[in-house]
Chain A
Amino acid sequence: MKPDRTRSKIFTRRAAFLTAGKMALLGGLGGRMYYLQVVESERYKVLAEENRINFRLIAPPRGFVVDRNGDFLAINIQNYQVILIREQAKDVEAVLGRLSQVIELEEHDIARVLRESKRRRGFVPITVRDNLSWEEVSSIGLNGPDLPGVNIEVGQSRHYPYGSDMAHVVGYVSSVTQEDLTDDPLLELPGFQIGKNGIEKQYDLALRGRGGTSEVEVNALGRVIQEVRRNEGKTGEEVRLTLDMRLQQMIGNRIKDERAASVVVMEAATGAVRAITSTPSYDPNAFSAGLSTAQWNELVNNPYAPLTNKAIAGQYAPGSTFKIAVALAAMENGISVDHSVFCPGHMELGDRRFHCWKRYGHGHMALIESIRESCDIWFYDVARRIGVDKIAEAARKLGLGGVTGIDLRGEKGGLIPTKKWKREKRGQPWHMGESLVVGIGQGYVLATPLQLAVMTARVVNGGYAVNPYLRMRVDPTTGQMTDMPEVPPEKLDIRPDILETLLESMDAVVNDPKGTAKKARIEEEGLEMGGKTGTAQVRRITTAERQTGVRKSEELQWRLRDHALFVGYAPVHNPRFVVSVVVEHGGSGSGSAAPIARDVLLETQRLLAGQDTALLTGEGP
C-alpha cells in the first residue's frame, strides 16, 4: 500500500493546488464582471440605449404660400404611392404580375422592386410607383385580396395651382443636392424637397418648419417594436404675399403674346408689390415632380430665357424713362423749369452729332415739354451742363444703380455710371459725349423693371424712399396681417416743387394731346394715369441709315428692334400704384409698353374698387 499512499499524497496536493487555481480563475471572471458591470457600466448602458432606440425624423408639412387675399399659390397635395412589403407578399414576382394588370407598371419599376426586395429586409416597405390617380388607388383597393403585401401610402408633394403664372415669384421645390446640405437633418430624409427658386427659396426655412422625431424601440433587425416618445416638430409657416393673384393672372394673359416682357405693379407709398410678371414662364410643378434632362435642356436653351425673372434680373437701358431722374438732377443743380433749348433734331459736340428721335426737331423746349414729348436735345444740353456725376447722384436717390433688396432671390442691381466708375472699371477717362448719352438713358446705364418701378414710386409718393417687398407680416399691435412695411420709408431730400413739376410732366406725357403716350390714356374719370415712355436702342444707327430715314421697327428683325418701356402711376392726382413695363424688342414705349401699362393700372384699380370703394367716390363717406 505504500506506493499508493505516495500517489495519493501527490494527488491530494496537486488536486488541492488545481482547485485553488480554479477558484482563482473564478475570481478573475468575477473581477472581469466587476470591471464591465461597475467600472464601465455607464458606457455600456449608453451603448445599449443607442442600440435599442432609433430616432426617426418626421418631415413636417411644408407651409403654404398664399396671395394677399388668401388665394393658394403653393400647396401640398396628397401623393398616393403603392408600396410592397415582401414578408406579407411572399411571392413578390407573382404579386407584381397581378398588380401590373391592375395599374400600369413600367418594366424597369418591376425590375427595381425585385432587386430591392432581395436586398432589403422583409418588413421594409418598397415603393412600387407614386403619383397614382384616384382610379388606380380604388382599383388596387378592390383587388386587395389578390394583392397581399400591397398597400397604399399617402405622401405629400408640392403643387402650384396657378402653374406658370406664378412661377417666377413663388419659384419651385426640388430634391436636396450635396451643396444644399446644412446641419438640418431633414435635408437627409429621402425624398425631401427644398425651395430652389423664388419665394420657395427665399423663405425656405420658414416654409420648411422643424422636423419632428419619433423615438422607436427596435430589435436587432431594425424592426420597430414600439414607439417610445414622439415629438411633433413644427409645421412650416404660411407665407402670405402682397401679390394679388387676379392681377397677376390678368397681366400674364395680357403679355402672353409678347415673346419676352415683364411687368411690375407696386404700391407707391409702401413698396408692397402687387404683381411681378415675366414672360415666357415655365411650369413649376414639373420641378417638384422631377424634371427630365430633355425638359431641363429645353428650358435652359430657350432663347427667351423662361427661367429668368426679367422683372428683377433683366437689365435694360432705361431709355427715356431715365429722363425723370435726369430732370430731377437738372432741377437740383440749378437748371430752372423754364430753361429753354432749341431742338433742331440734332446737336453737335466736337466732331460728333447727337440726334433727337424726332428727325426734324421739336423747336423750343423747356423742362415739362421736353419730358412730355421726350425731346432728346434738351436732355443732351442738360447732361452737358451738369455732368454725369450729378445725374448719377439723382438716379441713386431714386433707387437706381443698386439692388432694391426685394425679398426674392436673383435680383440684379443695374448700373449707373460715374466718372470714377469708368476710371476704375475701364481704366479710361470719361468723355463728355458719354454724359449726353446717359442723359437719355442710353450708354452704360442699366436698370431692371423693378428698379424703374421704385424710381417712379419715389417720385410720385411725395419723395419717400420706398423699397419693394413681397411678404406680408403680422402687425404686432393688432395681430393682423398687414402689407405695410416694418420700417416706414424715409423722406428723401427732394424739394416739393421739383416733385410737383415731375408729376405735372408725367401727367402731360399721357393726358396732354402732345404727350408721347396720349394714345394709351385712361378715359375713366378718377382712374387716369401718368407716366413716361421709353424706347431703348439695342443697335447703333448708322449715318447712312439716318440719311435714308430710320427704318421702322416693324421692318427689322425681332432681335434688332428697340426695347419698349413705360413707367406709370395712377390715379394721376392721387398716385397709389406704380407700374413698370418692359417689352423686349417691343418697338416703341408708346406703341407697345404704354398700352400694357394702361390695362394693368386700370385692372389694378378695378380690383381695388371691389374692396375699397372710397377710391372711386373720392374721399369716401
Chain B
Amino acid sequence: MAYRGLNEFGAPEMTFQEKILQLNWLLFLMILAVAGVGFVMLYSAANGDLDPWASRQMVRFGVGAVAMIIVALIDIRTLLRFSYLIYFGALGLLIAVEFMGFVGMGAQRWIDLKFFQLQPSEVMKVALVLALARYFHGLTLEDVGRPSYLLIPLAMVAAPVLLILRQPDLGTAIMLVGGAGVIFFLAGVRIWKFLVVIAGILGSLPFAWSMLRDYQKQRILTFLDPERDPLGAGYHIMQAKIATGSGGLTGRGFMNGTQSHLNFLPEKQTDFIFTMLAEEFGLIGGCLLLALYGLIMLYGLIIAVRARSQYGRLVGMGVTTTFSLYVFINVAMVLGLIPVVGVPLPLISYGGTAMMTVMIAFGLLMNTYVHRELRIGRRWYDPLS
C-alpha cells in the first residue's frame, strides 16, 4: 500500500479515497445477512406483509448503514480526542432524562427525535466503551496494575450504571457492566481483582434486590419457577418455550408458526423474535443464525487484534463484546435460561434505537479496521508531553 505521508510515529496518513477502499465489505456482508434474516422474520410476523414492520426496519437499517460508514471514516484520533466529551455528553443526557422529565411511560426514557427515539442509555453503551478505551490507552501496564488508577474508570462505569438502574433498566445496566468489565480485562487488570469485584457484587446482592422494582422481582422469581404463575408473568416464558420446542429440528415452516401467528407468543416482533425463528425454522434455522453471529464475533476479534493502537484494539473488542452481549442476553432470555430483562436481538428485533446503537458500534469496529495501521502514542494528544 502506498501512503502519502507519515505521522510523528512513522505511521502513514490516509486519504479519504484510501479509507473508502479500506472499508471492510466482508463485515458489512455479514451484518447485511443477519439484518436480512430480520426482515424475513418481520415479514412473517406481520402474516406475510412488509407493513408494518419489515419495511420500516429496512429503512432504519439503511440509515444505520450510512451512519456506520460515516463513523468508520472519521479519523480514529478525532474519536480518541472526543471520547470523554461523548461520554460526558451521554452522561448529561442520562441525567437530563432522569431528572428533567423527558419521562415517558414507566421505563421508556427517551428523547423523541422524530425519526427515531434517542435513548441516552443506548448512547452510553457506545460512549462508555470509547471513554474507557481512551483512559486505558493512556495507561502503561504498570499503571493498570496500580489500584488507584482504577478508581477513575470504576467511577466512569458506576455513574451511568447507577443512573440506569434507577430508571430501572436491568438489561442495559448488565450490558454496561459486562462491556466495561471486558475492557478492564483486555486492558490487563489482574484476574484476582475481578474475583474481588465479583465477590463484592455477590455480597451486595441483597442490597440490589431491594433496589429492584416489584415487577423485576416478579420476573426473577417467576424465572426461577415459571409454574408459579403460568397465566401471569410465567406466561411469556412458558409460551416462548412452547414455541421453540414445538419448532423441532426443522421447524414448522415459514409463516406457519402457530404460537407466533396466533399471538400466543408475546412481543414476537421485538424481544421474542428469535423464538419465532426457532418455531418456524427449527433447530437448524436457529443454529445457523447463531453461527452467523459467531462469525461476526470472530471477525470482530480478528479486526481488533490487528489494530496497532491500544485505543483501536479496545474499541474494536469493546463494541464487538457489546454486540455479543445483546445476542447472549436476548437468546438466553427467550430460551428460558435467564430472566426476561428486555434486551433486543441485535439487527433483527424490530426497533430503531438498538439498530442505531449496533450500527454505530459496527461503524466503530470498521473504524478500527480502517485505521488499523495507525499507531497512536500513549500521550500524543497530551499538551504536557
Contacts and interface: CB of A to CB of B under 8 A. Distances in A.
A binds B: yes
Interface in A37-67: 37-38, 40-41, 43-45, 47-49, 51-52
A4 B335 CA distance: 42
B321 interface: yes
Interface residues of A, number: 41
The interface centre, meaning the residue of A10, A19, A30, A49 with most chain B CB atoms within 10 A of its CB, is A19
Interface string B130-159: 000000000011000000000000000000
Given A15-B317, A23-B297, A30-B287, A36 B244 contact: yes
Contacts of A294: none
Contact of B328 (A7, A29, A220): A29
B248 A45 contact: yes
Contacts of B328: 22, 25-26, 29
A33 B244 contact: yes
Given A37-B249, A48-B258, A30 B290 contact: yes
Interface stretch (B26-34, B73-81, B278-286, B362-370): B278-286
B243 interface: yes
Given A23-B294, A30-B290, A44-B242, A37 B282 contact: yes
A556 interface: no
B188 A10 contact: yes
Given A52-B258, A220-B263, A37 B247 contact: yes
Interface in A335-357: none
Contacts of B331: 29
B305 interface: yes
A34 B383 CA distance: 57
Contacts of B282: 37
B248 A14 contact: no
B152 to A, nearest CB: 18
A250 to B, nearest CB: 62
Contacts of B202: none
Given A19-B297, A26-B294, A38-B283, A7 B249 contact: no
A38 B246 CA distance: 9
Contacts of A33: 244, 278, 283, 286-287, 290, 335
A267 interface: no
B287 to A, nearest CB: 5
B245 A37 contact: yes
Interface in B328-385: 328, 331-332, 335-337, 378
A18 to B, nearest CB: 6
Contact of B301 (A3, A8, A15, A221): A15
B241 interface: yes
A225 interface: yes
Contact of B245 (A10, A18, A40): A40
B297 A15 contact: no
Interface string B231-275: 000000001011111111100000000110011100000000000
B182 interface: yes
The interface centre, meaning the residue of A16, A34, A36, A49 with most chain B CB atoms within 10 A of its CB, is A36
The interface centre, meaning the residue of B186, B241, B324 with most chain A CB atoms within 10 A of its CB, is B186
B293 interface: yes
A43 B245 contact: yes
22 contacts: A6-B141, A7-B310, A14-B186, A18-B182, A22-B328, A23-B294, A30-B287, A33-B290, A36-B336, A37-B278, A38-B283, A43-B245, A44-B241, A44-B246, A47-B242, A47-B245, A48-B246, A48-B264, A52-B259, A52-B262, A218-B262, A220-B239
Interface of B: 140-141, 182, 185-188, 239, 241-249, 258-259, 262-264, 278, 282-283, 286-287, 290-291, 293-294, 297-298, 300-301, 304-305, 310, 313-314, 317, 321, 324, 327-328, 331-332, 335-337, 378
Given A3-B378, A44-B241, 6 more contacts: A11-B186, A14-B188, A18-B185, A37-B244, A38-B249, A219-B264
